[in-house]
Chain A
Amino acid sequence: MNGPALLEVEGLTVEFETYGGTVKAVRGVDFTVEAGEVMAIVGESGCGKSVTVQSLMGIIPMPPGKITAGSARLNGSELLGLEPRAANAFRGKEIGMIFQDPMTSLNPTMTIGDQIAETLKVHRGIPDQQAFESAIKLLEMTHIPEAKKRAKQYPFEFSGGMLQRAMIAQSLACSPSLLIADEPTTALDVTIQAQILDLLKTLQARDSMAVILITHDLAVVARTAQKVCVMYAGQIIEHGSVDDIFYQSAHPYTLGLKSAMPSNVGDRDKSLNPIPGSPPDLFSPPLGCGYAARCPHAMRICHEENPPFFQDSLSDGHAARCWLQAPNAPVVPELYQSNKIASDGA
């Protein structure tokens, strides 16, 4: 990696004040996104994926939400803690965003065309008529048939898949250098999911735009991403290339996610293995590793101290927060342990 990355996030910490106490939703997250790359963030519901990217956009409700620490730089300029006016200069212009549920994410009382044109009018100062024509072109770009007619329609006249296309058209209106896609296919039918992902990939490649793709669906990750961050209980617990994550899983949680994923290759009769239990209470995060309570390989230290990242000695950019990756940790056969391979080889 040479030169500064497109987006650098360091030590991002987000808390929510609730009646029950303070929820530590994101606990010191670091990652970088290079220009033109697709990075996926995976994890189960409630692990802090959405909060992470929404706090980058400054759209978590504040209060109760609060970014207590960390920085995020887009092309070197800070995104966090900006005045609303300064924040609006990059939202929708430098960073586009699409959401999980296209049915509720568009204003029901405005036409699709007007909503897309609005972004152009606000950021580029383009007059109404021209902005609307650009909106039609954007709809055509996302393969919406009869875009001219469709632009004058309201969200309720669209199907879910069509709406997500319109959302994509809207988020790409100002050709952003980064697109955040927050579970873009979760609310859609499986067949539509594939179409939307293909569309996203095509547009990403055409504009060499960076994408942060949030999902809990590993199949989606395998299809689209180059780099993956696995999140659990408000922290990234493993990151690396797609191949690293899928074929050299270094964290028991990543293994667990993989074995809970249906597969159409290999042994089809193999039953799916759900991970027992549920994520820890983030009102009072555990002292040790967040996954220890559910981990089949939990050791004494796992409950006592949160593990640091152990760098994969064989693959650059692949690291996991797991004590099993410590140099003198015991061997777990199903887990990838670079230190063991390295020592074996030595």
Chain B
Amino acid sequence: MLRYTLGRLLSGIITVWFIATATFLAMHAVPGDPLMNEKATTAEIRENLARKYGLDRPLAEQYVIYLSNMIQGDFGISFTQQNRRVNDIIKDHFPVSAALGILAITFAALGGILWGAITALYRNQLPDIIIMFLVILGISVPSFVFAALGQLLLVNLNQWFGTSILPVAGWGTFSHMLMPSLVLGLGTMALLTRLMRSSMLEVVNEDFIKTAKAKGLSPQRIFFKHQLRNAILPVVTVLGPQIAAITTGGFVVELVFAIPGLGRYFVQAVQQLDYTVIMGTTVFYGAFLVLMVILVDIIYGFIDPRVRLK
């Protein structure tokens, strides 16, 4: 298990290096002058700025500086907010996105497993039909529509009851998080419900369920000890990529609900062509996602002995 974990971490580091390099190359392929948007109009000031950000050096040298800074965990200084370090921007805004994402993935995973199990139990009966109809909606409707509808719902609810049941937008308290994270998790929840359902139905037909019946176990015991645990395994394997989908999907929800997360900041940075912020945020997100996938793999190892013991 230790060797497995170390191996995964090593390949993760190489992956992050690849992400950093790809980001660097993509950003340097952007046409036009990165200082174009600056207020600095005179050539002299531009030159000074270029020197400051190392833009006057050859590309290879810039790459080495960029990488060595990154290894030291320094993402540089923002182009548009001259006295703000990218590290500080990430430190300020990422926890907001992370809190939103963690709550969303929790909603999605718990909901997906629960609804999936219910649909499999009531296969082709009314609960199954209703839930699967909602699941199809959840998969087919874009996240931003859910976000807009969620906000609309809150507006109407608050109007209906005459008081603020949940805040419509903004950030700060737990109640601010509820609707955005629910909206953010909906698509993933629908996906996981589908997966859980088909996984449950597959496990029901496995030979070991027949063995469990032949052993004279109660249906409840078969369901919880034999069926559920095996059915959850494929759901856990997709959690890693789904965390990635949810984190980046947060952009829209952060925009719609006016949440000061890193996603909203990234979109803003792209609009202003803030090089260092774009690069720093991308590499940070990439590293975070790689870490998440590794984490999920390790958790999977604990659930599935076949992976753990190899």
A50 CA to B219 CA, complexed, in Å: 22
- Which of B205-213, B246-254, B276-284 binds A? B205-213
- Residue B46 is within 8 A (CB to CB) of chain A in the complex: no
Q: Convert B208-236 into 0s and 1s, putting 1 for each residue whose CB lies closer than 8 angstroms to a CB of A.
A: 10111111111101000110011001000
Q: Tell me the nearest residue of chain B to A106, going by C-beta.
A: B208
- Residue B303 is within 8 A (CB to CB) of chain A in the complex: yes
Chain B neighbourhood of A101, CB < 8 A: 207
Nearest-CB distance from B200 to chain A (Å)? 15
- Residue B38 is within 8 A (CB to CB) of chain A in the complex: no
Nearest-CB distance from B307 to chain A (Å)? 10
Q: Convert A133-155 into 0s and 1s, putting 1 for each residue whose CB lies closer than 8 angstroms to a CB of B.
A: 00000000000000000000010
A248 CA to B214 CA, complexed, in Å: 36
- Say what secondary structure dominates the interface of chain B: helix
Q: Tell me the nearest residue of chain B to A157, going by C-beta.
A: B309
User: When A154-B305, A154-B306, A157-B309 are in contact, do A107 and B208 touch as well, CB less than 8 Å?
Assistant: yes
B213, B225, B306: the one contacting A110 at CB < 8 Å is: B225
B208 touches A104 (CB 8 A): yes
Give the size range of B's interface with the partner: 20 to 34
Q: Convert B183-221 into 0s and 1s, putting 1 for each residue whose CB lies closer than 8 angstroms to a CB of A.
A: 000000000000000000000001110111111111101
- Residue B56 is within 8 A (CB to CB) of chain A in the complex: no
A122 touches B214 (CB 8 A): no
- Residue B88 is within 8 A (CB to CB) of chain A in the complex: no
A106 CA to B207 CA, complexed, in Å: 7
- Residue A123 is within 8 A (CB to CB) of chain B in the complex: yes
A93 CA to B229 CA, complexed, in Å: 25
A54, A119, A156, A157: the one contacting B216 at CB < 8 Å is: A119
A110 CA to B211 CA, complexed, in Å: 13
A332 CA to B229 CA, complexed, in Å: 60
A91 touches B210 (CB 8 A): no
Give the number of residues in A that approach B within 8 Å (Cβ atoms).
34
B230 touches A109 (CB 8 A): yes
Nearest-CB distance from B162 to chain A (Å)? 52
User: Which residues in chain B, 152-205, are within 8 Å of chain A measured between CB atoms?
Assistant: none
A156 CA to B229 CA, complexed, in Å: 16
Q: Tell me the nearest residue of chain A to B218, going by C-beta.
A: A88
Nearest-CB distance from B246 to chain A (Å)? 27
> Can you list 5 A-B pairs with a CB-CB distance of less than 8 A?
A58-B213, A99-B211, A107-B212, A119-B216, A122-B215
Extra pairs beyond A104-B208, A118-B217, A171-B214 (11, CB < 8 Å): A57-B214, A84-B219, A88-B217, A97-B214, A105-B211, A106-B208, A107-B208, A109-B229, A119-B215, A119-B216, A156-B306
A: residues with CB less than 8 A from B are 54, 57-59, 84-85, 87-93, 96-97, 99, 101, 104-110, 118-119, 122-123, 154, 156-157, 167, 170-171
Closest 3 CB pairs of A and B: A92-B216, A91-B216, A92-B215
